[in-house]
Structure 1
Amino acid sequence: MFGNIAKSLFGSSNDRYVRSLNPLLAKIASFESSLQAMDDATLANQTALFRQRLANGEKLDDLLPEAFATVREAAHRVLGQRHYDVQMIGGIVLHRGEIAEMRTGEGKTLVATLATYLNALPGDGVHVITVNDYLAARDADWMGRVYRFLGLTVGVIVPNLSDEQRRDAYAADITYGTNNEFGFDYLRDNMKYERASMVQRPFAMAIVDEVDSVLIDEARTPLIISGPTDDKSDLYMQVDAVVKQITPDDYEKDEKQKTIVLTEEGTERVERLLEAAGLLEGANLYDFENTQVVHHLNQSLRANVMFKSDIDYIVKDGKVVIIDEFTGRMMDGRRWSDGLHQAVEAKEGVQIEPENQTMASITFQNYFRMYPKLAGMTGTASTEAAEFFDIYKMNVVTIPTNKPIHRVDEEDEFYKDTHDKFRAIAKRIRQHAEKGQPVLVGTVSIEKSELLSDFLKQEGVDHSVLNARYHEQEAHIVAQAGRLGAVTIATNMAGRGTDIQLGGNLEFRAEDELAGMPEGPERDAAMAQIKAEIAAEKARVLEAGGLFVLGTERHESRRIDNQLRGRSGRQGDPGLSRFYLSLDDDLLRIFGPDTLFAKMMRNNIEDGEAIGSKWLTKAIETAQKKVEARNYDIRKQVVEYDDVMNDQRKVIYEQRADIMDAETVGDVVEDMRAETVNTIVGEACPVGSYPEQWNVEGMKDRLAEILNLTPPIDRWLEEDAVDPEIITERVQAEADAMVAAKAAELEPETWTQVEKSILLQNLDHHWKEHLATLDALRQVVHLRAYAQKTPINEYKQEAFALFQRMLDNIREDVTKTIAHAQFQLQAPPPLPDLPDFITTHFDPFSGEDNSADIDAGTLGLIQSQVPPMQIPQPTAADLGQDPESWQGAVSRNAPCPCGSGRKYKHCHGAV
């Protein structure tokens, strides 16, 4: 109670913080008159003066008032837009590395120019992150006019750019792009073989637009670069045929977790079906021999039961295309991992693409935490303020609106079932459209959008449907959603980032209607005509009540509902919002109360009858809080698990960078060789053991296999009282001499390049294998909970042991490759460019893919990612036709001498 009294007297902590910025606002305003008196050239020269002051020791905070005032004046001259005081507050918040929560229509895009300009002055580069490629290109062009006027360079990262174009864009003072493009470029850079071919430079600052979408919604799902493995199309089709024969009684499904488990009777039935199909080895489905079949069976069950066409994916041009659950956009080029996408392809009867193996991976949490300064802006962040601080150490500051909000938020209406609800919605939309009030309808899936479209057609209401099938035109459709009588159906905030202006959007109307018309009096007259039409139409829309936002059901996150509501009532305009719900809605059905009261309500509500219930409203809020808490736990779990991998990732990536930057890597290779010799001798001659207990034959075999050496160990043992240390020194000396002789055959630069190539090649190969092992470990480590152990602690211990083993394997393989290699006396070929890998952004816990836009990665054939070595490999003609005689003469990782193209260890060398 006392807290409420204090709050009413002194305001909230947020209010006090915003008020504390008033002196800074006054200081910014004090520069306005002097800047207005400058001509364009003098104003543009301010940038050079600011940079000189920075070089003389001033800090960015010292420059802030004058720099912000400069941007305000430049924007007024170039764009005809002057920053409001509340936008200045937003700019200060961004500069301080915090999150500015600003209502829709308050001009966040313009706000970003303030902090972006100031932090670009040192020349280290500022990254402005947007949620899709359209907004990245639009904002880079639109706001780029201000930056270029002030003498800064602007780059934009969009799909299908060459490495040279990306490098130029990152070299600019300000770089626009999507979260996925920046993240994938980071991963691709750390797979390259020369520092000069990397495109990014060290991070300085990132400003994230729609920060809740990027750092919260999409943060459950890591970015992954992968390449294909062996084709198993037939197995997917066979298992899919089996799954389609089982009934709902054979399994139990959990829609919350998107998991499905066979019952005991279902398992027996599936075993009989698999046995009949010739896929089962032995009598038990869960025998070790059937591990692969069980994996395919589980994925096929999920594909057939849990994943729905037109909700989770659509089939387009013979391909399964994933639908983003947050934005409703199609994600061409994205694929679910771990065989799930192939299972869906088998279900739909389209061509099955090969599975993929992870080659590089990072979560958004760990990517964005690499920036020394991180800021963000959005219309809805306060409900996740705790998470933003816990994960990113960013405070959320709510910025007041420029004008008071006049939108009316009506209470929710409840109906018995979906049919009654949609019929009522269609009638309500018709009533508002007939009086000229524009209506924006929010749905949660393509299926619901098209269902509502059918109801509106029956009511004779003209409307536009905006969902994943038509996302190319989404910005143009949403921009005109405020026109007189317009009815727009949008899937889950599609078109976010595009301003809905009452009466219509001048910029988009001009683009649509005056395309191709040259500059001149005729175009000016047409523009004046459009402006007059918009002004007249806006007056009629205001008279009709402004934009009516209608939600067809509550989203699982309150934040998404607030985003939808926030599209109405911008800049003091009138507006209206209401949500229509039914007991069939997924949120209530899956997460709501399964009580006798809910069943009684279903039985006692008449068809078409609407009710308003505080109990149901409370149930909705409780359900949303449950889901938000669950999703936070998932994201937190992703971070906990990725933090383990992140420490290892940093070690590997730093090691790669050191190798690429080093003039010579001979010391590294020599240390690896010494460690390998120590290990081999140490295993054969344990400390504290007697010579007669030593495994001398095993040591000789290992030295021949790894170091290509046959030292006279027996003679050493006969001649001297040799201890393990002396054997180690002698073997080391022989190995060093052999490698020195090889190095002498080549030019020093060539030998260095060979050593670097071998190091990077082995590092990448083992890191890729390590990632696959960690993926498998993460999927099963939760079972340790049954043994009263904490899965994350078990994962940390296992991952550390696996990492140590990986480092040992790298040392051994590098030593072995150099020892056995025969080099041709010619310069190594130039290093190849990295191919376009398959890039995905999938949820390791649910299998969902949450990328918001299309990446440059393609599904084309992927070439080898390592540079070809000039090391001739033995063939069957060299070794003899008997494969048994090849053992020991062929490296296990070398191509098989039979000419199959597979590695020896996977072909005739298989154990």
Structure 2
Amino acid sequence: MLGIGTLAKKVFGTPNDRKIKATRPLVDKINALEPDFETLSDEDIKAKTEELRKRALDGESLDALLPEAFANCREAARRALGLRAFDTQLIGAIFLHQGNIAEQKTGEGKTLTATFAAYLNALTGKGVHIVTVNEYLAKRDAAWMGQVFGALGLTTGVAHADMPEDAKRDAYASDITYATNNELGFDYLRDNMKSELSQIFQKYHNFAIVDEVDSILIDEARTPLIISGPAQDRSDMYKVIDTVIPELSDEHFELDEKTRNVTFTDEGNEFLENLLRERGMLEEGQTLYDPESTTIVHHINQGLRAHKLFQRDKDYIVRDDDVVLIDEFTGRMMAGRRLSDGLHQAIEAKEDVSIKPENVTLASVTFQNYFRLYDKLAGMTGTALTEAEEFQEIYGLGVVEVPTNKPIARVDEDDQVYRTVREKYAAMLEQIQKSHAKGQPALVGTTSIEKSEVLSKMLTDAGIKHNVLNARQHEQEAQIVADAGKLGAVTIATNMAGRGTDIQLGGNVDMQVMTAISEDPEADPEAIRARVEAQHADEKAKVLEAGGLYVLASERHESRRIDNQLRGRSGRQGDPGRSSFYLSLEDDLMRIFGSERLEKVLTTLGLKEGEAIVHPWVNKSLERAQAKVEGRNFDIRKQLLKFDDVMNEQRKVVFTQRRDIMEAADLSEITTDMRHQVIDDMIDQYLPPNTYADQWDAEGLHTSVQEQLGLDLAVMDWVEEEGVDDDAIRERLVQATDQFMAEKAEQFGSENMRNIEKQLLLQVIDAKWREHLLTLEHLRSVVGFRGYAQRDPLNEYKNESFQLFEGMLDSLRADVTQKLAQIRPLSEEEQREMLEQIRAQQAAQVAAAAAASGGAASAETTGDAAPGFVEDDPSTWGNPGRNDLCPCGSGKKFKHCHGRLA
């Protein structure tokens, strides 16, 4: 008998079915327009874009323009790429435009789907950002889909690391900008460290389409983006601590693999104290519990984590004297990404590579809060339904499953569970040999580099030719994945194979054509393509006959999405295929999450060597374990976000204030208000309200006026005057300082004074914000202990961070007022000295450049540095002009080097 829910679904359809059904009238409209758009010339298509853009700017809604815009885009894509979008791609694009996540299976054409929604939303003139998981895909998609946007009359840019500033500015000024999530986040932070409006890259956060949205908004969302500067070098301490950790034995620490946590036991602490005293790191009588030991304890803990939680070739690899982290979800290297709080340095010490200094945070943002800046956000992926709750709760994004263009013909087999890893690998090898013998391509999924190399050795020993794709071969990733569907191909891959390039049966035609052309540049490209296509058709027929791509997974991942991605590599566009998961009781997930019960079941069943248990119940129990882990990870991310939201509100205030300052032509009113507020604070402090004159601190007020306002006024006399109250003294201070600053503005010139105020305000805001970030980091690291006193750490963090923020704003006013009071124009003699220093510096740079290029500088060219000038000491440089070369010898302008308002 059917349940009520099942019966309702059969009669009315699922909510997802109803959403799909609602788009059908729109798709019919777009299809009805197709014959009209086929008759347009190439110029007419561009003219149509201009017409649609004008209508959008005149107030017509994008929803009203959608049918015509999509019809125009479909025709442009057909002409530029020879690809006519399927109806399912139009449905996906409609959901993207509506601000949803479109779940489209692998091979359904997400890259082309994105162009429709991007084109429609770019008509507003505020730009669209298409976000990819790596630079290769950003560049590939920009070049590929840029042909479609070009045919429509739109500009396309790609923003990536190490670009010249002007080129990156142009990329962001384009109608469509492709970039990685990291680059977008870092450029946002850099924008908010700049001092001139013209230098800013991201003018708008209008609409973003995030490709592989689950990877970017969930997997990578646990790690904030941080721009940092160097801090104190403690490499010696790391080296000493690294010699201590290997001497610990199992009773000295407790390891919890479920929560990825490791802590010292009481015996461990005692053992450490004795050992550290021997090594001279703890003084006699000092214990690890003393306040002076805080730094050592912190680094000892990080050393323990580095040794016991982080494994080489799983969590990181060592490459060119550098520890490079590996993304646990994709298996890709994360070049330039470093662990914070000294953990990365502890791993560097462990691996005996160069230890780079720790950093202090200059600016930071999480992906959650960065992507929530956009007016509208959308995403695409093959696997999002399992995380639908998180997408809705954190980002307000709905997940819609878009139907496939052709029915899925892949067979997903039940998991096979073996008792040991050895038996599991033996069964996998046997199955790979069978598939290889009949020409069926096999993709073998692994969870780490180490395991991929174990399987690779087994295949080599068995004489089976294969490719290995892991973080070590990431440069060849596209080529290896493109070849994975060839007849008899065997490919071992970490999870990174789930992203980016299609696995096409018989191989990827375009890749094969490019390879053939590079091998024989003189040959006719058309003839090469015809030959390759004929070979491909023949090979594809044989692969189809052999059963399509066979995916064998050697382990289940903590996240069901990663497993689904691997499965989804097979069976694209209705192709046949097969997937199997080979597991053992020694696998991490099985071992950590309750394999003991299964062990008993297997023993009871009398399982023999090499036999496996295969049953749908096993799949269900594993999926329940995975769902628990996913739920726990979601809770961790949610908690992190709650804390970051507190800082994010403050970040928005500071960044908005910076932008307002940069946009303002005249800031004199703001600086005047700040000065008057500082005077009010002084009066309240030294002449408290409701007190008598003999209780006032006149001397304190006099000193404070000198230090803060730069004036030596007769404050002591004013206080002793009969009938003078605090308001009268406040009024006199306001008049005196206003006159003082008006005279100063006259000396500098009105325009110069406005510029000084602007740069000074930005400089002080940035310095204060950096200090505030550091204070919040320290507060965050200790606020958890408030839980022991039955107080909610989050509420405590909110209250204290708000007080700290108010304190920061107070000190900002005082700093700006004091600095403006202290500045003065240079005398003619000082200006002459400074010019001499700059000339000497420029001459030295010419000499250095000549020496570097092998030439010799003449004596006249080099000159002598000004007396007292020291290249490494900015205090001896005088006052260089902002557009002069920096005296440090970098060759950059002073404003871009030591004069930079970072």
TM score, norm. by length of structure 2? 0.90
d(CA) in 1 for partners of 2:404, 2:719 = 87
Secondary structure of the structure 1 residue equivalent to 2:436 = helix
Query: Residue 807 of structure 2 aligns with which residue?
Result: 805
Secondary structure of the structure 1 residue equivalent to 2:748 = coil
Listed as ranges, the gaps of 5+ residues in structure 1 are: 831-862, 873-900, 902-911
Query: Residue 315 of structure 2 aligns with which residue?
Result: 312
Q: Letter of the aligned partner of 1:312 in structure 2?
A: D
Per-residue Cα deviation, 1:44-77 (whole angstroms, up to 9, x for no partner): 3221222233344432222211221122122122
Q: Letter of the aligned partner of 1:598 in structure 2?
A: E
The structure with the largest helix share of the pair is 2
d(CA) in 1 for partners of 2:708, 2:297 = 38
Identity %: 54
Query: Residue 545 of structure 2 aligns with which residue?
Result: 543
Q: Given the superposition, is the C-alpha separation of residues 55 and 711 from structure 1 closer, same or farther in structure 2, using an over 3 Å criterion?
A: closer
Contact 1:745-1:825 at 8 Å conserved across structures:
no
Per-residue Cα deviation, 1:819-867 (whole angstroms, up to 9, x for no partner): 233442599999xxxxxxxxxxxxxxxxxxxxxxxxxxxxxxxx9999x
Once the two structures are overlaid, the 10-residue window that deviates more, 142-151 or 252-261, is 252-261
1:468-867 to 2 correspondences below 5 Å: 468-494=471-497, 496-515=499-518, 517-518=520-521, 522-590=524-592, 592-593=593-594, 595=596, 598=599, 601=602, 605-824=607-826
Query: Residue 870 of structure 1 aligns with which residue?
Result: 879
Once the two structures are overlaid, the 10-residue window that deviates more, 54-63 or 104-113, is 54-63
d(CA) in 1 for partners of 2:144, 2:512 = 16
Contact 1:388-1:394 at 8 Å conserved across structures:
yes
Query: Residue 186 of structure 1 aligns with which residue?
Result: 188
Q: Given the superposition, is the C-alpha separation of residues 805 and 143 from structure 1 closer, same or farther in structure 2, using an over 3 Å criterion?
A: same
Query: Residue 389 of structure 2 aligns with which residue?
Result: 386
Q: How far has the Cα of 1:745 moved from its partner?
A: 2.1
Query: Residue 895 of structure 1 aligns with which residue?
Result: none
Q: Given the superposition, is the C-alpha separation of residues 236 and 4 from structure 1 closer, same or farther in structure 2, using an over 3 Å criterion?
A: same
Task: Identify the match of residue 421 of structure 1 among 409, 424, 431.
Answer: 424
Q: How far has the Cα of 1:40 moved from its partner?
A: 2.6
Q: Given the superposition, is the C-alpha separation of residues 475 and 733 from structure 1 closer, same or farther in structure 2, using an over 3 Å criterion?
A: same
d(CA) in 2 for partners of 1:679, 1:210 = 53
Q: Letter of the aligned partner of 2:407 in structure 1?
A: P
Secondary structure of the structure 1 residue equivalent to 2:577 = strand
Query: Residue 857 of structure 2 aligns with which residue?
Result: none
Q: Given the superposition, is the C-alpha separation of residues 512 and 623 from structure 1 closer, same or farther in structure 2, using an over 3 Å criterion?
A: same
Once the two structures are overlaid, the 10-residue window that deviates more, 660-669 or 45-54, is 45-54
Q: Letter of the aligned partner of 1:807 in structure 2?
A: L
Q: How far has the Cα of 1:463 moved from its partner?
A: 0.8
d(CA) in 1 for partners of 2:676, 2:602 = 77
Q: Letter of the aligned partner of 1:204 in structure 2?
A: N
Q: How far has the Cα of 1:25 moved from its partner?
A: 1.5
Q: How far has the Cα of 1:517 moved from its partner?
A: 4.6
Once the two structures are overlaid, the 10-residue window that deviates more, 350-359 or 17-26, is 17-26
Q: How far has the Cα of 1:792 moved from its partner?
A: 1.2
Q: How far has the Cα of 1:755 moved from its partner?
A: 1.7
Secondary structure of the structure 1 residue equivalent to 2:582 = strand
Contact 2:497-2:566 at 8 Å conserved across structures:
no
Q: Letter of the aligned partner of 1:768 in structure 2?
A: R
Once the two structures are overlaid, the 10-residue window that deviates more, 8-17 or 608-617, is 608-617
Q: How far has the Cα of 1:443 moved from its partner?
A: 0.9
Q: Letter of the aligned partner of 2:200 in structure 1?
A: M
Query: Residue 27 of structure 1 aligns with which residue?
Result: 29
Per-residue Cα deviation, 1:237-277 (whole angstroms, up to 9, x for no partner): 12222222222211112223322211111111111111122
Q: How far has the Cα of 1:600 moved from its partner?
A: 6.4
Q: Which has the higher contact order (CA 8 A, sep 6+)?
A: 1
1:346 aligns with 2:349: yes
Query: Residue 467 of structure 2 aligns with which residue?
Result: 464
Once the two structures are overlaid, the 10-residue window that deviates more, 466-475 or 640-649, is 640-649
Query: Residue 332 of structure 1 aligns with which residue?
Result: 335
Per-residue Cα deviation, 1:353-409 (whole angstroms, up to 9, x for no partner): 111111111111111111111111111111111111111111111111111111000
d(CA) in 2 for partners of 1:871, 1:813 = 22
Secondary structure of the structure 2 residue equivalent to 1:326 = coil
Contact 1:416-1:602 at 8 Å conserved across structures:
no
d(CA) in 2 for partners of 1:433, 1:401 = 29
Q: Letter of the aligned partner of 1:463 in structure 2?
A: H
Query: Residue 293 of structure 1 aligns with which residue?
Result: 296
d(CA) in 1 for partners of 2:808, 2:59 = 47
Q: How far has the Cα of 1:576 moved from its partner?
A: 0.1
Q: Given the superposition, is the C-alpha separation of residues 821 and 96 from structure 1 closer, same or farther in structure 2, using an over 3 Å criterion?
A: same
1:119-198 to 2 correspondences below 5 Å: 119-198=121-200
Q: How far has the Cα of 1:686 moved from its partner?
A: 2.5
Query: Residue 845 of structure 2 aligns with which residue?
Result: none
d(CA) in 2 for partners of 1:289, 1:349 = 28
d(CA) in 1 for partners of 2:363, 2:566 = 36
d(CA) in 1 for partners of 2:598, 2:257 = 22
d(CA) in 2 for partners of 1:625, 1:440 = 25
Task: Identify the match of residue 47 of structure 2 among 22, 38, 45.
Answer: 45
Query: Residue 458 of structure 2 aligns with which residue?
Result: 455
Listed as ranges, the gaps of 5+ residues in structure 2 are: 839-871, 882-897
Task: Identify the match of residue 323 of structure 1 among 311, 322, 326.
Answer: 326
Contact 1:493-1:564 at 8 Å conserved across structures:
no
Secondary structure of the structure 1 residue equivalent to 2:262 = strand
Q: How far has the Cα of 1:41 moved from its partner?
A: 2.6
Secondary structure of the structure 2 residue equivalent to 1:298 = helix
1:399 aligns with 2:367: no
d(CA) in 1 for partners of 2:96, 2:597 = 50
Aligned length: 838
Contact 2:415-2:618 at 8 Å conserved across structures:
no
Task: Identify the match of residue 239 of structure 2 among 232, 237, 240.
Answer: 237
d(CA) in 2 for partners of 1:686, 1:44 = 71
Once the two structures are overlaid, the 10-residue window that deviates more, 486-495 or 158-167, is 486-495
d(CA) in 2 for partners of 1:141, 1:649 = 35
Contact 1:164-1:199 at 8 Å conserved across structures:
no
Q: Given the superposition, is the C-alpha separation of residues 722 and 290 from structure 1 closer, same or farther in structure 2, using an over 3 Å criterion?
A: farther
1:244-263 to 2 correspondences below 5 Å: 244-263=246-265
Per-residue Cα deviation, 1:678-721 (whole angstroms, up to 9, x for no partner): 22231223333333333333333333333333433332232224
Query: Residue 104 of structure 1 aligns with which residue?
Result: 106
Secondary structure of the structure 2 residue equivalent to 1:493 = helix
d(CA) in 2 for partners of 1:152, 1:602 = 66
Once the two structures are overlaid, the 10-residue window that deviates more, 384-393 or 436-445, is 384-393
Contact 1:240-1:346 at 8 Å conserved across structures:
yes
Once the two structures are overlaid, the 10-residue window that deviates more, 153-162 or 238-247, is 238-247
Q: How far has the Cα of 1:199 moved from its partner?
A: 1.3
Q: Letter of the aligned partner of 1:86 in structure 2?
A: T
d(CA) in 1 for partners of 2:728, 2:421 = 83
Q: Given the superposition, is the C-alpha separation of residues 825 and 582 from structure 1 closer, same or farther in structure 2, using an over 3 Å criterion?
A: farther
d(CA) in 1 for partners of 2:55, 2:616 = 60
Per-residue Cα deviation, 1:647-701 (whole angstroms, up to 9, x for no partner): 1111111111111121122222222222222222312233333333333333333
Once the two structures are overlaid, the 10-residue window that deviates more, 147-156 or 683-692, is 683-692
Contact 1:131-1:209 at 8 Å conserved across structures:
yes
Q: Given the superposition, is the C-alpha separation of residues 594 and 544 from structure 1 closer, same or farther in structure 2, using an over 3 Å criterion?
A: closer
Query: Residue 284 of structure 1 aligns with which residue?
Result: 287
Query: Residue 358 of structure 2 aligns with which residue?
Result: 355
d(CA) in 2 for partners of 1:542, 1:596 = 41
